[in-house]
Structure 1
Amino acid sequence: LNLSNNFITQLHALALPYLEQLDLSGNQLDLISEGAFGNLARLEHLNLSRNRLSVSLGSNSKALGSLGRLRSLDISMNGLSNSAAELLLRNKSSLDQLKMTGNVLIKLSPSMFGESKGITNLIIEDNLISEIEKQTFEPLSRLESLNLARNNLASICDFTLHQVKYLNLSRNSLEFFVTCEDAALYSLEVLDLSHNKLLYFPILPKLNKLKHLYLQNNLLGALGSEAVMVTEVNSLYQDIMKLMPLAYIDLSFNHFTSFPLETLSLLFSLETLNFSHNFRQIRFPSLKCLDLQKNSLTSVSPFFLKALPQIDTLNLQENQVQPCGFLMKSLPKIFDLNSSCVAFGQLKTLKHLNLRENDIKILPPTSFQGTSLISLNLAKNNHMVIGEAALEGVQATLQSLIISEISMNSSGLSLPCMPALTNLNISNNRLNKTPGSLACSSLKVIDVRNNAFTSLNCSLLQTLSLNQTAMFISGNKFNCYCSGSSRWQVIAFRCFSRRCSNDFRTADIRIVII
């Protein structure tokens, strides 16, 4: 029976013996007669939210006391104080779900839920709670979900709720979250501490099942807390974090002035990290070289990139970053800055970039337009697709390009004319021919080892011979025929036999101009 959003002010009797669900929310109900629910023996779900139950508290509490089979109760937004809520919750041993959002509770004590120890889902959001007495929630052995968001809690100094799986403490005034030190296994899987005043990382249970941790919009890093924390409780965090199955952590909108590598590197199961909107007031005006190798980074905040106005060399090897592209029809607008990809075009002074082993799936068009790239390492991004015009914008400046070990065949290799290119490494792929666009390059060294070549483009070699000094070709199956008319000759090589074989996989062959 749904009687919500009417103008019911009093309820005296409901003779509905088979009724299981009753919704009286959004009325002006201030009086429920003591025997009003006497004939509702099967009622299990009752919604009394957005009424005035605090007005006739004595009669209302006695009426609710007769509902011994109630499983779900919503008494949100009724102006209830602590004592009023306790009266309404008497004789509620069967209660499974309780919602008390938007009241005026200021303190939680064991007496509040003393007769409701079977609760599994408890929502007390948007009250005035500033204190929680010990043993308030601990006796609720079946409690799995607890929502205390939008209250006035200043700290959690002795978290001991082993049974809780989901805990929401967002939008309080928390400065600390500390778990009691014990050897018990905690069931906690989701912890929301966002929109608080945390100065330090939370001290979490040593044994836990935590998978999602929300810490956005806090003050982490404001006091250099990363260094302080690592110095003072380093061993504790190592023990905790190495055992934690944490897959997602949100650290956005905090005050870090440096990336918390020492802490986050202990999270071996971490899959997703949101570190956006930090570094907002920091700037490295003279920093030219930055090494971030092997940190499991999935993104680099645009705000952080803007803090590097003079960066020359950036090493991101062995991470998980994906380059952004530019929208071809609206250059130079950066494509999807809010996504997890990295917009390298913000780094105008960048000359040397290492993206080796980042599991890059696709190199989108104009991935590096706006930079001043001289050298680019894209090796060991297995099966990476190099999009059309991927190198547009840097083809005039690029001098060294490494695209080895990506299992690429010749149909997948399309390079633009790069007149400044002097060093090209396309080794350890499945190539059987070299791109004709290399004819306009000033190549000095080319490495084609461990591919599928059986011959080389003679006309291309003759064009390149004006500048080229070395070519590495071992690990291919060349036909060992050297034309006397060619300006190229093999002057040094090593083979297992004295005769040239058709398989030079064991040889290091150096070709020079004579």
Structure 2
Amino acid sequence: MFSLNDLMRVEIHIHSSLNCVLVSLCQNQSWNNQNLSSVPLDLDVRLRKLDLSNNFITQLHAFALPCLEELDLSGNQMDLISEAAFGNLARLEHLNLSRNRLSVSLGSNSKALRSLGGLRSLDISMNGLSNGAADLFRESKSIRSLIIEDNLISEIAPQTFEPLSRLESLNLARNNLAFICDFTLHQVKYLNLSRNLVEFFVTPEDALLYFPILPKTNRLKYLHLQNNLLGALDSEAVMVTEVNSLYQGVVNETILQNNYFHANWRLMPLVYIDLSFNRFGSFPLETLSLLNSLEHLDLQGNDLPHLPLVFLKTLTQIETLNLQDNSLQPCSILSGSLSKNHIDFDYSCTAFGQLKTLKHLNLRENDIKILPPNAFQGTSLISLNLAKNLHMLIHEMALEGVQTTLQSLIISGININSSGLSLPCMPALTEINISNNKLNATLSSLGCSPLKVIDVRNNDFMTLNYSLVEAVSTNLTTVYISGNRFNCCDSRWLTLTSTRCCLKIGIAVHSIM
């Protein structure tokens, strides 16, 4: 049975909701950076979105905005939220409390958040929170997105997030996590654990040494693990043994019946993983080979010497591969064949031709010595970054097989001169960056490309080929030319570009002599 008071509250809530639907005026209001010390008293009750960020509201008391759906209180040095503060914000779905001091009165602040039953996203980053942070969101069972970044959390107890059955995005980056062992994040699709100091596997180290144990049934699609110490263990076999032992202890099984770690990873629907800036001394072949749904893989800054052929063959869905700042050398594919017998390599190079779905490849700063023939044949490359591979020799057939698909090519900062650079006709190329080299002559082969952006900065050009500029001028929108010593007596190409509407010329004062 409902009491009279209960029925009255339901009637008031329905009436308020109808008013919010019917009234569409005055939906948003910003009081950002207004030196406020409290919430203004004359706020329109019809507001749906309110920005009170970057003020000096150190304490928050009750205020009534029945239509409010989004509230930003970030950057206020707030340390106290009264228990009734959010009691009259029945429709609030998005709350930003980042850059405050919620840790000071954690008990009171936690009670205040309990009234927000419909909250969908909560940001409590940069609040000096430690291990009691869970009290702030434990009762917010409708939350889809939770940001707890840049706090002082050193441990997360098991089942901390279990009440949040709708949680899809969890950001725990930039904490001091010492241990995580939670098997209840089945529905999470985005997990950020980057920049932590994690002992996932009860090791004496001070950083995340290998991949986390994840629930058997999960929906995780986006995983950020950059800036840890992944791969610092002696071998992958040692890691798997340690992780399985930990798993056995957590699930309280006396007999280890299976390789739990790999069994769980095999079920993950990951499409994105960021492993940049870790310490992969030996490549984690067995583990990463299980992730055959990957579309985006970031391995920047890991000092990898090569990617094994057997691993590349598992990346059947990969589209974007960031390998910047490693030590990879591309293999040469002979006779236009992608079969193993016709790949010229000695297990120290990387056979990119195995990646048939690959569209975007970053090989910047890999100290590539030679870009061999057919290095990328078999891929579907749209963009290729080869910048800062100093003194790299480019074979005239290096881009064979991708010359018809490439739309963006970066070969800046490789210290190459015009006699050492030969590029094929690339009919899809719209952007090319050949800056910071020693070039003094433009490539006539670029005349067949529908170029929109050309970057030739910091070379030895005294002029640009008039015929080439004329050929590409139809689509050209931007040309960067500063840092060259152009001859003012041979600037006919420049007058041609000046007749083009909306063409931007990036030029320094001393570029034309």
TM-score, length of structure 2 as denominator length: 0.53
Q: Is 1:102 aligned to 2:195, yes or no?
A: yes
Unaligned runs of 5+ in 1: 307-313, 325-335, 348-352, 374-385, 391-514
Aligned partners of 2:486, 2:131: CA distance in 1, in Å? 71
Name the residue aligned to 1:426: none
Counterpart amino acid of residue 177 in structure 2: L
3-state SS of 1:31 partner: coil
Asked if the contact 1:191–1:213 (Cα under 8 Å) also holds between the matched residues in 2, the reply is yes
Q: Superposition pairs for residues 12-411 of structure 1, below 5 Å? A: 13=111, 14-16=113-115, 17-32=117-132, 37-54=137-154, 57-58=156-157, 61-81=158-178, 84-85=179-180, 87=181, 89-105=182-198, 106-107=207-208, 109=210, 112-115=213-216, 117-131=218-232, 135=262, 138-154=265-281, 156=283, 158=285, 160=289, 161-180=291-310, 186-200=316-330, 202-204=350-352, 206-221=354-369, 225-226=370-371, 241-268=376-403, 269-279=405-415, 292=422, 294=424, 296=426, 300-301=434-435, 303-305=437-439, 316-320=443-447, 338-339=455-456, 344-345=461-462, 359-361=471-473, 370=487
CA distance in 2, matches of 1:130, 1:261: 37
> How far apart in 1 are the matches of 2:411 and 2:128?
47
Query: In the alignment, what sits opposite 1:3?
Result: 97
> For residues 124 and 189 of structure 1, what CA distance do their matches in structure 2 show?
19
1:190: how far off?
Answer: 1.1
Name the CA distance, whole Å, in 2 between partners of 1:361 and 1:304.
Answer: 24
Helix, strand or coil at the partner of 1:112: coil
Larger Rg: 1
Tell me, what secondary structure is at the counterpart of 1:318? helix
Distance 1:345 1:356, change over 3 A: closer
> Does the CA contact (< 8 Å) of 2:186 and 2:217 recur in 1?
yes
* Separation in structure 2 between the aligned mates of residue 295 and residue 345 of structure 1, nearest angstrom: 24
> What value does the CA root-mean-square deviation take over the aligned residues?
4.4
- Cα distance 1:149–1:25, how it changes in 2: closer, same or farther (>3 A)? same
Q: Quick one: distance in 2 between partners of 1:22 and 1:41?
A: 11
How many Å separate the matches in 2 of 1:361 and 1:33? Answer: 59
Q: Partners in 1 of 2:318 and 2:457 — Cα distance?
A: 28
**Aligned partners of 1:148, 1:182: CA distance in 2, in Å?**
16
Superposition deviation, residue 172 in structure 1: 2.7
How far has the Cα of 1:77 moved from its partner?
1.4
The amino acid that maps onto 1:64 is F
Matched to 1:47, the amino acid is I
Deviations 1:293-348 (A, max 9, x none): 74649565552326xxxxxxx794434489x9xxxxxxxxxxx994489864179x
Cα deviation for residue 212 of structure 1 reads 1.0
- The separation in 1 between residues aligned to 2:127 and 2:321, in whole angstroms, is 35
Q: Which amino acid aligns with 2:321?
A: L
8 Å contact kept, 2:294–2:315 = no
CA contact (8 A) 1:318 1:358 kept: no
Tell me: CA distance 1:341–1:33, structure 2 relative to 1, closer, same or farther (3 Å): closer
Higher share in helix: 2
- Does the 8 A contact of 2:295 with 2:320 survive in 1? yes
Query: Structure 1: how far apart are the matches of 2:270 and 2:301?
Result: 22
Distance 1:7 1:388 in 2: 58
CA contact (8 A) 1:108 1:136 kept: no
Q: Deviations over 1:346-378 (max 9, x none)?
A: 79xxxxx897899443799x99965999xxxxx
Structure 1 residues 95 and 157: CA distance shift in structure 2, 3 A: closer
Change in Cα spacing, 1:129 to 1:65, as seen in structure 2 (3 Å) is same
Instruction: Tell me: CA distance 1:318–1:18, structure 2 relative to 1, closer, same or farther (3 Å).
Output: closer
Shift of residue 279, structure 1, vs aligned partner: 2.1
Structure 1 distance, partners of 2:420, 2:171, is 55
Does the CA-based 8 Å contact 1:3-1:24 persist in structure 2?
yes
Q: CA 1:39/1:317 → structure 2, altered by over 3 Å: closer, same or farther?
A: closer
Contact 1:24 1:48 in 2 (8 A): yes
CA 18–180 in structure 1, closer or farther in 2 if over 3 Å, else same: same
- When residues 300 and 103 of structure 1 are mapped into structure 2, their CA distance, relative to the original with a 3 A threshold, is closer
Q: Any conservation in 1 of the 2:368–2:392 contact (CA below 8 Å)?
A: no
2:354 partner SS? coil
Q: TM-score, normalised by structure 1?
A: 0.53
Amino acid at match of 1:163: S
Deviations 1:92-122 (A, max 9, x none): 1111111112102445656522356310111
> For each residue in 1:400-441, what CA deviation from the matched residue of structure 2 results, as whole angstroms up to 9, or x when unmatched?
xxxxxxxxxxxxxxxxxxxxxxxxxxxxxxxxxxxxxxxxxx
Specify whether residues 42 and 356 from structure 1 end up closer, same or farther in structure 2 by C-alpha distance, changes over 3 A only. Answer: closer
Letter in 2 for 1:121: Y
CA distance in 1, matches of 2:119, 2:385: 45
Task: For 2:380, give the aligned amino acid.
Answer: P
